């Protein structure tokens, strides 16, 4: 009996010791998630800082900036052509540009990221060819995000057509469109038309303001990146609205004359958006 009690006591002691060994203690930190990412406190000055940093990147890569700026200029020319030939589709095409713009800026995000790595670690400077292939590093999440934006763009275009169909028996021409937009009798249509566009533009802005840079940087999934982007807009709406206003103002000014301003404004906003992503997520630019 004593032998059995002694054996049991030793077994119990060994079990307790095994539980206190380093191998038995699971102190592995919980896996991190982009959803738990803390949104950094922002000030009204931050969007101006992002633009200044973006302009610095643009000056360091003028050739790449001119290439991407040329792409934005071609998009503007297409918008101008559609306005002349099919005015009712202008809003839908604008939605398409909101879809294409962030993805076209992928190369600009990659250039800004590579300049930071070059300054910090001495890696090779950015290359235009490599920036054009930046999308290949996160093809799955980017494809899913593109599908999400495409659905919103199609809904936007359909709603715009419905607004026209409800208010007019035929689609207006360019001259008629300008006349009706300046006619106070059509104020209800104008408010509805702009309201529909504003809702979809705000939604697309909210889920994409930092999503694509985050996908490129963190290789996270599209849904998580969209939620973090929306979280940033909801947690600090004033500053993010200010940032959205600055983007809109620069884009509007760049349309005169003949969208030539997009040659500079397009890449500037692209580079600045990378720094906006870092500022929102609390990552400091070297």
Residue ranges of domains in the chain = 41-281
**What is the per-residue pLDDT for 175?**
56
**What is the per-residue pLDDT for 85?**
66
| pLDDT for residue 41 is more than 80 | yes
- Taking only the tens place, the pLDDT of each residue in 243-281 is 999 998 998 898 877 888 989 999 999 999 999 999 998
CA distance 264 to 79: 18
DSSP state of 210: T
Only one residue has tokens 């599908």, namely 147
Q: Which residue has the higher pLDDT, 1 or 81?
A: 81
- Taking only the tens place, the pLDDT of each residue in 155-211 is 877 887 788 777 776 666 555 666 666 677 777 877 887 888 888 888 888 998 999
191 is written with which tokens? Answer: 């408010």
Among residues 246, 245, 265, the alpha carbon closest in space to that of 255 is found at 265
Residue 275: burial class (beta carbons within 10 Å; 0-12, 13-18, 19+): buried
- Taking only the tens place, the pLDDT of each residue in 6-18 is 444 444 544 444 4
Q: Which residues contact 159 (CB under 8 A, 6 or more apart)?
A: 196, 200
**What is the per-residue pLDDT for 52?**
97
Residue 182: burial class (beta carbons within 10 Å; 0-12, 13-18, 19+): exposed
* Mean pLDDT of the region 24-28: 37
Lowest-confidence segment of 15-24, 76-85, 101-110, 204-213 by average pLDDT: 15-24
Among residues 133, 153, 131, the alpha carbon closest in space to that of 201 is found at 153
């Amino acid at each position: 009996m004593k032998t059995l009690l002694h054996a049991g006591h030793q077994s119990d002691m060994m079990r307790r010791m095994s539980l206190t060994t380093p191998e038995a203690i699971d102190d592995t930190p919980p896996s991190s998630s982009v959803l738990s990412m803390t949104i950094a406190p922002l000030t009204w000055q931050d969007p101006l800082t992002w633009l200044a940093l973006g302009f610095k990147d643009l000056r360091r890569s003028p050739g790449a900036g001119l290439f991407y700026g040329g792409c934005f200029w071609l998009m503007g020319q297409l918008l101008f052509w559609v306005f002349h030939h099919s005015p009712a589709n202008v809003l839908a095409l604008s939605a398409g540009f909101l879809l294409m713009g962030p993805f076209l800026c992928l190369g600009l995000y990659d250039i800004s990221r590579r300049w930071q790595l070059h300054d910090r670690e001495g890696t090779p400077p950015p290359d235009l060819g490599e920036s054009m292939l930046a999308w290949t590093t996160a093809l799955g999440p980017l494809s899913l995000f593109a599908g999400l934006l495409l659905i919103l763009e199609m809904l936007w275009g359909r709603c715009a057509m419905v607004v026209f169909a409800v208010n007019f028996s035929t689609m207006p021409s360019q001259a008629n469109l300008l006349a009706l937009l300046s006619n106070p009798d059509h104020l209800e249509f104008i408010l509805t038309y702009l309201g529909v566009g504003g809702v979809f533009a705000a939604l697309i802005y909210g889920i994409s303001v930092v999503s694509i840079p985050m996908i490129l940087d963190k290789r996270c999934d599209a849904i998580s990146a969209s939620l973090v982007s929306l979280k940033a807009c909801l947690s600090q709406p004033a500053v993010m609205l200010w940032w959205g206003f600055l983007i809109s103002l620069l884009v509007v000014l760049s349309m005169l004359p003949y969208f030539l301003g997009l040659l500079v404004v397009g890449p500037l906003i692209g580079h600045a958006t990378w720094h906006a992503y870092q500022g929102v997520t609390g990552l400091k630019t070297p």
